[in-house]
Amino acid sequence: MKLFHVLDVMRKGDRVISMLHSENKQVRNLLLKGKFGLEKESLRVCPDGFFSHTSHPFPNDHNIVRDFCENQTEINTPVLSSAKEAIDYLELYNRKIQKKLSELPVREYLWPFSNPPYIRNEEDIPIARFYGSDSSKTRYREYLSDRYGRYKMTFSGIHVNYSFDEELLRQDFKLSGQKNFPEYKNKLYVELAKKAAVYGWILVSITAASPLMDSSFVEKKMYGMDTFNGMASTRCSELGYWNYFTPTFDYTNIHSYADSIRKYVEDGWIRYPSELYYPIRLKPAGENNIDNLREKGVSHIELRMFDLNPLVPEGLEIKDVIFAQLFLVWLASNELPEVSAKDQIHAVQNFKNAAHYDLKTVKIVLPNGNVNSAADTALGILSQMKKFYHGYPEEIKEVLQFEEDKFVNHENRYAWKVRQQYSNGFVKKGMQLAKERQNQALGKIKETRAIAHDAAAQQIIA
């Protein structure tokens, strides 16, 4: 089938309007300067494949926290200047966790998949406990438990945070004709959020890695039978993290964007802004709340759709992080016409469709009305990205080819590999992998590794 030109929707007449002035040599030289931060969730489990019920073992470490469950550890890396540094720090904190878990009276492990292992019942999923001034965090989790059920809250994933380098933004600001830098910066990120909402489904399709579930997730007391529901990423599919309504946003400026989120709280659709389960978020510096976003502006964009990748020790393939950067820069360098509420509703469905196992049987609907399979639409996007990055270093070309190969041959997708390797005993094979990963981490702690952050490494793991 002949591919349509995926960027027709990004054109006004025959002229492409750039957000970032990527045609300018100075700007283009700075395009790939940015900051990265990773958030990785993992469940702590016992040797038998059931959830741990011990207290969070890192109560005073702000880089290792809890998400919904008491046994759901979350690594928050520092803000770093490259994908490699971010992955390195992810690995360092993973080693620290594995070391601690191996020393507990009853040894525990990190479950390496986004979908949970055995679940006895809802009471088997311990809500994270906070006390004193933080007790409201527990009340919030109890509210989520009542509203959405605890089973859904056991899904784990990775969030990739990205911000454009200040030097890049300052250089582009000079060419923008605008007079107020904070307004320029906020508008850039708001426009980027809109574009990522329309096209970000491609990130789901390239990182989906959770096609298998244990039967106990769908039927109580039925343990040990593999379940395949036709999804490559259950947590990103219609079965996963979504509200009971489809939100739409006002992308006119940062104030209207923040107010459109606040309105869902005021109208009773959700109780808290953080309850808005959307794959793209704009975040301010400091405390993450709507007032800060409105008053202080955008610090970075958060991509919330990455599955844990059990095929690599870190749980996240570095090429996927680099691709996320390339994708955001590409989006920011192309103008998108106004997106209607209907287009935004289609965009949410696109995310859910991209989570399916077979990307040739589901469709993507773009704002220009073009409809095609997810696989063919993704190939069209990657073709445009290859043109955009022509002349960049060879490693950029390699990353784009790595992602393209997933749509050319489904056997290159993580979900396909996971289903092939971990069927016929998903939890048992998963526990074998969890134990292997812990042993690998403990072995690396004993090694002397000459990396740029070696002093920091010793301090983190100690």
- Rounded Cα distance, 434 and 111, in Å: 6
Taking 80 as the threshold, does the pLDDT of residue 294 lie above it? yes
What residues pair up with 164 in beta bridges, in sequence order?
A: 34
Picking from 44, 193, 155, 17, the residue whose alpha carbon sits closest to that of residue 106 is: 44
pLDDT given for residue 445 in this prediction: 87
Query: What does pTM read for this prediction?
Result: 0.93
pLDDT given for residue 15 in this prediction: 33
Phi then psi dihedrals of residue 51, to 5 deg? -65, 145
pLDDT given for residue 311 in this prediction: 98
Taking 50 as the threshold, does the pLDDT of residue 157 lie above it? yes
Taking 60 as the threshold, does the pLDDT of residue 1 lie above it? no
Q: Please give the average per-residue pLDDT across 357-361, as a whole number.
A: 97
- Rounded Cα distance, 330 and 31, in Å: 9
Across 8-17, 79-88, 420-429, least confident range: 8-17
pLDDT level of residue 453 (50, 70, 90 thresholds): low
- Rounded Cα distance, 396 and 406, in Å: 16
Residue with tokens 């999804």: 231
CB-CB neighbours of 52 under 10 Å: 23
How do residues 258-277 score in pLDDT, each as one tens digit?
999 999 999 999 999 999 99
DSSP per position, 341-386: HHHHHHHHHHHHHHTBS-TTSSEEE-TTS-EEEHHHHHHHHHHHHH
- Rounded Cα distance, 110 and 72, in Å: 9
Picking from 391, 308, 392, the residue whose alpha carbon sits closest to that of residue 74 is: 308
pLDDT given for residue 8 in this prediction: 38
Q: Please give the average per-residue pLDDT across 321-342, as a whole number.
A: 93
| Cβ-Cβ contacts under 8 Å for 427 (sequence gap 6 or more) | 49, 117, 118, 214, 223, 224
| Token output for 326 | 């390339």
Enumerate domains of the chain plus CATH numbers: 6-448 (3.30.590.20)
Taking 60 as the threshold, does the pLDDT of residue 5 lie above it? no
| Token output for 308 | 């844990």
Phi then psi dihedrals of residue 54, to 5 deg? -85, 165
